[in-house]
A = this chain, B = another copy of it.
Amino acid sequence: MPKRRFREIEEAARIARALSHPVRLRILDELREGGAYVMHLTTVLGRPQANISQHLMVLREAGLVTAEREGMTVIYRVRDPRLLALVDQLLELAESHVVARGAEEPLAREELPPRGRRRRGACRCPRCRGEK
């Protein structure tokens, strides 16, 4: 191991911290192709807008995403595609952890997929209206 420099390690820890919340991972997952509007994220993830904005701030401050104003709306994008590869590896590792210990506890209520037939993507952001 080539003796990593300290600053890199601290930065790596900051990145990992930004990734250490389920909502933020889901946000990054939604940003995969072409980014997403804030409104879209609140709809798809089913969480209050303020909360989504807070999590987006964390991702922004970690330098992982960019925010671009488009009139009234704001579109967020992943800054470096390598981040998505990283998230993929993280999810793969997580998958083997999960299957390794089988289906144990019954999944927190809060994180269950939203009820009802609210189709994924049924929000009013420009993307979902087919405007862009």
Q: Which residues of B are found within 8 Å of A98, using beta-carbon distances?
A: 7-8, 11
Are A92 and B82 neighbours in the complex by a CB distance under 8 Å?
A: yes
Which residues of the partner chain B approach A6 to less than 8 Å between Cβ atoms? Answer: 22, 107, 111-113
Copies in the assembly, this chain: 2
Q: Are A85 and B80 in contact (CB under 8 A)?
A: no
Closest chain B CB from A93 CB (angstroms) = 6
A9:B91 contact, CB within 8 angstroms: yes
A89 touching B82 by the CB < 8 A rule? yes
- For the residues of A in contact with B, the DSSP-based class is helix
Q: A39 in the interface, Cβ–Cβ < 8 Å?
A: no
A-B contact pairs, 24 of them (CB 8 A): A7-B107, A9-B25, A9-B26, A9-B91, A11-B97, A11-B98, A12-B19, A12-B87, A12-B91, A12-B93, A13-B20, A13-B22, A13-B24, A15-B97, A16-B17, A16-B20, A17-B17, A20-B20, A80-B93, A82-B89, A82-B92, A82-B93, A86-B90, A86-B93
Q: A13-B20, A86-B93 are in contact. List 6 more A-B contacts (CB 8 A).
A: A4-B29, A6-B112, A7-B107, A12-B93, A14-B94, A83-B93
